A = this chain, B = another copy of it.
Amino acid sequence: MNYLKKVVIVMFCVFCSLKLAAQTHPNIILTKANINVVKSGIGKYPLLKKSYQEVKERADFAITHPIIVPTPKDGGGGYTHEQHKRNYSNILDCGIAYQITGNQKYADYIKNILLVYAAHYKEWGLHPKRKSDDDSGRIFWQCLNDFVWQFYVIQGYDMAYNAISTKDRAIIEEQLFIPILKFITEEHYDVFNMIHNHGTWALAAVGMTGYVLHQPKYVEMALKGSNLDGKTGYFAQLDQLFSPDGYYSEGPYYQRYAMLPFVLFAKAINNYQPGLKIFDYRDKLLAKAINTSLQLTYTDKTFFPINDAIKDKTYESIELVYGLDIAYADIEPESFLLDIANRQGRVIVSDAGLKVAKAIAEGKTKPFKYVSQWIRDGASGQEGGLGILRYGKNEDQECLLLKAASQGMGHGHFDRLNILFYDNGTQIFEDYGSARFINIDTKGVGNYLPENNTWAKQTVAHNTLVVDEQSDFKGKVDVAQKYHPDLVYFKADSNLQVVSAKEDNAYADVKLLRTSALVKILGYTKPLLIDVFKATSKTEHQYDLPFWYAGQLVNSSFDIDAKKDDLKALGTDFGYQHLWFNAQNQLDDKGGFVSILNNKRFYTIHFITENPLQVKLVSVGANDPHMNLVDGKAFILSQPKAKNQTFISITEVHGGVDPVNETVNAAASSISGLKIITTNDEQTAFSFKFKDKVYQYMINYQNKNNYVVIK
């Protein structure tokens, strides 16, 4: 932290010695000096042209329809909510259209709509649908949306600035923007000074507005916090919310969301105060954060849906379009970023977007480089992290994520040592994400549903060990926030990729250690996923290890005798109350297998433990009176009573079906004879037969030089 503190202090000195750059408009995403090259770029570079056409179509739609500024009334997804969102988008689109065409009508739209807002803003009190006064917006039900509104609107205003009369500007600024700045920094003093994504949006809105309105006081507050002491504000957030690897503690879904104010405010800082060298700050932290955001996706573009996440969110989202364009144009022009820009299918009509579209048109694109890596969590990089193992080209990549990160505050899930597994463009072992229908008013006002707490956050909703049918830290976020897992071992050789992490505090007297590996065996195209989950305790516990699988169960080593009627919930708390208990299978043996057909490919999971075990088949949906939950199916390896327990599993990707040609290939697994040789504090060793050859797999817990051996 000492190093960081010094950097911060140096920065402040630089800042204090600078005056704000002369007031030119526009000067954020589009800058006055570059307008002509962007204009001519629109004619030349297809991606910029297409992106601009989309902007202009929306702008033309806006200016030919009545201005509607409704009195704030509805919650998320409701009519007034969506209308005010539409208005800020329109303002931004018209700002761009004005700069590119020079046509006054677009600037007039901005002037006119802002005059309407200015006329009414003061009479709007706190929003009638607010959850609490502390959290309330005036335009929206939560203040966060008000910050976002201002964040977009100020960009549009900056672009129309010179086309609005001094008199009108005075009205807009005095009746609308200054009151909003006060609303954010005074009435929402706490949120503005919070080290949290809501705070980021607040300060970016305030800082950018400060630049555009030439109000250095607000810029300073945005950078250094209300007290100007650097304990809060932009730099403090950059220091505390990101790890040195650019990981944001709330997880990828919120990282994506938070990226936009971080990156765009940085762009504004860079334009107005280039001397701050904001993009170099903390060893180019912003570039790392953008790159890490992209690395936190699978090849289907979706973010890993850990913690509270909307599962179909992809890097096509506007935040990462901004992020990527600025990363390429202003930080480091990596040609593999262009691949993502192509898949995003748009650029920001801006100085940065111009460079990206130009580079693509010049054929500079290279395939995006997904890498296997350990991404550190925590401001100092010492609070666990995420292990990502990948194998194969982007078109058909096998990918394993081990989540050994810190809690991630209120949006974190109790899923220490959870794994996600992907293959063939889709999730194989999946995460539920959050229980939320975002912006759908009729489902909990579009907000997190009660089942987000009772189900989605609970340990059993994840692919990780549950002890005694309770969640990690008994589901208490304040306790969980104090502890983090630790990396034990990481290796990413091409044929043997391993991540091993431990968690000692999730349960009072049980230590957890998980070692997951992608193991490529010679002569076989797809690596095996070999997973060893070890629980150690001095006392007896029930150990449940769920596998939340996508697809259809098509084979198993045991006869399935599913409940035909009178289906019961599996338990009463910690998410178990939401599980329908479809089938209980007491195995004669210590192991077995289950085969899944998913997206036309087979996956066979072989498993073994030290003691005969049960396999419970469950599905999501019990105790859900309003049918808020979506479907999900798991098999749970369950050990009713043991002190120490090792769950070993090998997942083989094999064969497939072709429904169009009605053929099937390699429906049976090639693995057999999975046997434990030993498992203790020193070592877990086991053997299995794969296509006529017997392999031994050993984890040497005490030997980092020889941690995993396969022979």
Contact residues of A between 425 and 449, Cβ < 8 Å to B: 437-443, 446
Residue among B316, B583, B630, B657 making CB contact with A552, cutoff 8 Å: B630
Find out whether the CB atom of B565 lies under 8 angstroms from the CB atom of A623: yes
Find out whether the CB atom of A441 lies under 8 angstroms from the CB atom of B626: no
Find out whether the CB atom of B82 lies under 8 angstroms from the CB atom of A627: no
A344 to chain B, nearest CB (A): 10
A624 to B437, CA, bound (A): 31
Find out whether the CB atom of A82 lies under 8 angstroms from the CB atom of B625: no
Contact residues of A between 257 and 314, Cβ < 8 Å to B: 310, 312-314
- A580 at interface by CB-CB < 8 Å: yes
Find out whether the CB atom of A77 lies under 8 angstroms from the CB atom of B313: no
A555 to B661, CA, bound (A): 40
Find out whether the CB atom of A667 lies under 8 angstroms from the CB atom of B442: yes
Residue among B442, B560, B583 making CB contact with A595, cutoff 8 Å: B442
- A66 at interface by CB-CB < 8 Å: no
User: A591-626 vs B: 1/0 string, CB under 8 Å?
Assistant: 000010100000000000000000001010111111
The listed residue with most B CB atoms (<10 A of its CB), out of A85, A440, A595, A619, is A440
Find out whether the CB atom of A441 lies under 8 angstroms from the CB atom of B313: no
- A538 at interface by CB-CB < 8 Å: no
Number of A residues with CB within 8 Å of any CB on chain B: 57
A660-B317 contact given A565-B622, A623-B565, CB 8 Å threshold? yes
A564-B622 contact given A313-B660, A317-B660, A617-B627, CB 8 Å threshold? yes
What's the number of copies of this chain in the assembled complex? 2
CB neighbours (8 Å) of A623 from chain B are 564-565
Find out whether the CB atom of A626 lies under 8 angstroms from the CB atom of B660: no
A663 to B152, CA, bound (A): 15
Find out whether the CB atom of B667 lies under 8 angstroms from the CB atom of A438: no
CB neighbours (8 Å) of A552 from chain B are 437, 630
Nearest B residue to A79 via CB reads B668
A196 to chain B, nearest CB (A): 19
Contact residues of A between 566 and 586, Cβ < 8 Å to B: 566-569, 580, 582-583
User: A103-134 vs B: 1/0 string, CB under 8 Å?
Assistant: 00000000000000000000000000000000
Find out whether the CB atom of A554 lies under 8 angstroms from the CB atom of B439: no
A659-B437 contact given A77-B667, A565-B568, CB 8 Å threshold? no
Residue among B82, B312, B664 making CB contact with A659, cutoff 8 Å: B312
A437 to B667, CA, bound (A): 12
- A631 at interface by CB-CB < 8 Å: yes
Find out whether the CB atom of B316 lies under 8 angstroms from the CB atom of A660: yes
A665-B82 contact given A443-B554, A660-B313, CB 8 Å threshold? yes
A82 to B666, CA, bound (A): 9
- A662 at interface by CB-CB < 8 Å: yes
- A681 at interface by CB-CB < 8 Å: no
Residue among B77, B316, B626 making CB contact with A664, cutoff 8 Å: B77
A103 to chain B, nearest CB (A): 26
User: A458-488 vs B: 1/0 string, CB under 8 Å?
Assistant: 0000000000000000000000000000000
- A562 at interface by CB-CB < 8 Å: yes
A565 to B581, CA, bound (A): 10
A368 to chain B, nearest CB (A): 18
Nearest B residue to A312 via CB reads B659
A595 to B77, CA, bound (A): 15
- A561 at interface by CB-CB < 8 Å: yes
- A359 at interface by CB-CB < 8 Å: no
A363 to chain B, nearest CB (A): 23
CB neighbours (8 Å) of A668 from chain B are 441
A347 to chain B, nearest CB (A): 15
A669 to chain B, nearest CB (A): 11
Find out whether the CB atom of B564 lies under 8 angstroms from the CB atom of A627: no
CB neighbours (8 Å) of A313 from chain B are 659-660
- A318 at interface by CB-CB < 8 Å: yes
CB neighbours (8 Å) of A580 from chain B are 567
CB neighbours (8 Å) of A657 from chain B are 438-440
Nearest B residue to A583 via CB reads B627
Find out whether the CB atom of B562 lies under 8 angstroms from the CB atom of A625: yes
A550 to chain B, nearest CB (A): 12
A662 to B256, CA, bound (A): 13
Residue among B553, B567, B622 making CB contact with A627, cutoff 8 Å: B553
A323 to chain B, nearest CB (A): 14
Find out whether the CB atom of A667 lies under 8 angstroms from the CB atom of B441: yes
CB neighbours (8 Å) of A317 from chain B are 660-662
A583 to B624, CA, bound (A): 11
A560 to B582, CA, bound (A): 23
Find out whether the CB atom of A569 lies under 8 angstroms from the CB atom of B562: no
A175 to chain B, nearest CB (A): 28
A433 to chain B, nearest CB (A): 11
A619 to chain B, nearest CB (A): 8
A460 to B534, CA, bound (A): 48
Residue among B441, B631, B663 making CB contact with A439, cutoff 8 Å: B663
A351 to chain B, nearest CB (A): 23
CB neighbours (8 Å) of A625 from chain B are 560-562, 564
Contact residues of A between 608 and 661, Cβ < 8 Å to B: 617, 619, 621-627, 630-631, 657, 659-661
The listed residue with most B CB atoms (<10 A of its CB), out of A316, A552, A568, A569, is A552
CB neighbours (8 Å) of A595 from chain B are 442
Find out whether the CB atom of B663 lies under 8 angstroms from the CB atom of A85: yes
A665 to B79, CA, bound (A): 9
Find out whether the CB atom of B597 lies under 8 angstroms from the CB atom of A437: yes
22 chain-A/chain-B pairs, Cβ below 8 angstroms: A77-B667, A85-B663, A312-B659, A317-B661, A317-B662, A318-B660, A437-B597, A439-B657, A439-B667, A441-B667, A442-B554, A442-B555, A560-B625, A560-B626, A562-B624, A564-B625, A565-B568, A565-B623, A582-B621, A582-B627, A617-B627, A619-B621
Q: Which residues of A contact B (CB under 8 A)?
A: 77, 82, 85, 310, 312-314, 316-318, 437-443, 446, 552-555, 560-562, 564-569, 580, 582-583, 595, 597, 617, 619, 621-627, 630-631, 657, 659-665, 667-668
The 5 closest A-B pairs by CB, nearest first: A567-B567, A442-B555, A439-B664, A564-B623, A312-B659
